[in-house]
Amino acid sequence: TSSPRRALRGRLLDFVADPAVAGADALRYVRDGILVVEDGRITARGEAAALLPGLACPIDDHTGKLILPGLIDLHIHYPQSRVIAAFGTQLMDWLERYTFPEESRLADPDHAKWQADFFLDELLANGTTTAMVYSTVHTGAAEAFFEASAARNTRMIAGKSMMDRNAPPWLMDTAQGSYDAAKYLIQRWHGSGRQLYAVTPRFALTSSDAQLELAAALMQEFPGVYLQTHLSENDKEIELVRQTYPWARHYTHVYERFGITGPRSLFGHSIHLDDDEVRILAETGSIAVFCPTSNTFLGSGLFDRDRLAAGGVRLGLATDVGGGTSYSMLATAGEAYKVLQLRRQTLRPLDAFHMMTRGNAAALSLTDKIGTLDVGSEADVVVLDARATPAMAHRMTAVEDDLEQELFVLMIMGDDRNVAATYVAGHQRKRPG
């Protein structure tokens, strides 16, 4: 993690609060700024005019480009990078026809390493420096992922999927086996360097009662770990949950009853919820994760952001590759805007960029480490260029000096082409051009 001092010059943009609450005060914007990084952390920041004179270190000149905290993706499946763009199905058939067969291949550790290496480099090319990642059921696949992340020194959160029913036999573990494997992985990887663990019961349909109980036991035993699962994504899935758990009032009740709701628990999708479910998520401090490109691609439904927010539910934003169709959090924010349009709701550019950075960090209770450009924060940084493509440069000729319009162009038209550089703990991992 040790790295020499280096400075980045450009337009510094980050958030000190939620703009939906604090308005313009939430934003910190320095037109000609300097960010100094050393030993993996941000050690100084400010106006170039003030800092340049005393600066005795190399400068990466990103003048004119936006320098933001590295983007954060709260729900993504690393084994599904070859499932993106699988034609013609909704969730349950998509899992059976495309996803489970592909995940089976990660029984081979060499294949898993190949997938993990591709996946992490693709995230960095998209400016994503932290992600909450599902692995497959295989312990070795989770291990391969953590090894690949440790080699890049990225702050990743990941977990071995727990699934002991309703899947092909070769993709299943047992309740006890999944507990033992997760415990081993937690002890090996959670807090090792920048790696963090997420207990990962895939969803209610692929876990037995015993397995969900053991997932809760892991959360009790290891208070720093996270939990990730899927909730109320698709009509057919919800009906199957109703049949599988006849005692449950609704889908959320299943997770609540087994004790896996809570402030470190992230629930992907959370689309079709009744008022009681919204109440439970809010009261337990659980996080509902909006996965817009997946929800439109799989025809799952339209996330009701305003209803969840009004109910006091903590929110996050994610790609959900390979149900999702883009690794780019910019494109994901663009799709979120369109989903909310169909709901007659909106996503202002400042709220979107807050969500991709400090907002998602807050959902992880990690704002002291990532999600801002604060001095003392880990030096994960993305450099964005709104003029990176001919069509975007052309569009930008109509934008004079309006930061919010520029951000909106980035989220509606942008993707990895707009990522000029990505820094991981102060090291540049994606080079311009």
- With CB under 5 to 8 Å by kind, the binding choice for 335 among Zn ion, ligand GUN, none is none
Question: In 255-357, where do the E strands start and end?
Answer: 265-269, 287-290, 314-317
Nearer to ligand GUN, 90 or 428 (CB): 90
Cα separation of the two ends of the chain = 26
Query: Contact with ligand GUN (CB under 6 A): which of 48, 99, 198, 318?
Result: 99
Report the SS3 class of residue 310. Answer: helix
Binding mask 197-226 for ligand GUN (x = CB under 6 A): -----xx-----------------------
Size of the site for ligand GUN (CB under 6 A): 11
Q: Which is nearer to Zn ion, 70 or 323 (CB)?
A: 323
Q: CA 38 → CA 133, 374, 376, 378, distances in Å?
A: 28, 13, 10, 10
Smaller CB distance to ligand GUN: residue 95 or 407?
A: 95
Write out the two tokens for 265: 């628990």
323 binds ligand GUN (CB under 6 A): yes
Which CB sits closer to ligand GUN, 203 or 408? 203
Q: What angle (nearest 5°) sits at the alpha carbon of residue 13, between those of residues 7 and 19?
A: 155
Judged by CB, which is closer to ligand GUN: 77, or 358?
A: 77
320 binds Zn ion (CB under 5 A): yes
**Which does residue 91 bind out of Zn ion, ligand GUN, none, counting CB within 5 to 8 angstroms by kind?**
ligand GUN
By CB under 6 A, tell whether 294 contacts ligand GUN: yes
Q: Which of 51, 44, 7, 12 is nearest to 357 (CA)?
A: 12
Helix/strand/coil for 153: coil
Nearest Cα residue to 196 out of 364, 59, 322, 357: 364
Please count the residues of the chain. 433
Query: What is the DSSP pairing of strand 265-269 with strand 427-430?
Result: unpaired
Q: Which is nearer to ligand GUN, 321 or 392 (CB)?
A: 321
Residue 104's contacts (CB-CB under 8 Å, 6 or more residues apart) are 168, 170, 171
Q: Of the ranges 34-42, 91-99, 122-130, 239-247, which one interacts with ligand GUN (CB under 6 A)?
A: 91-99
User: Which span (20-28, 203-211, 265-273, 306-314) binds Zn ion, by CB under 5 A?
Assistant: 265-273
Distance CA 137, CA 118 (A): 19
Return residues touching ligand GUN (CB under 6 A). 77, 91, 95, 99, 202-203, 230, 233, 294, 320, 323
Return residues touching Zn ion (CB under 5 A). 268, 320
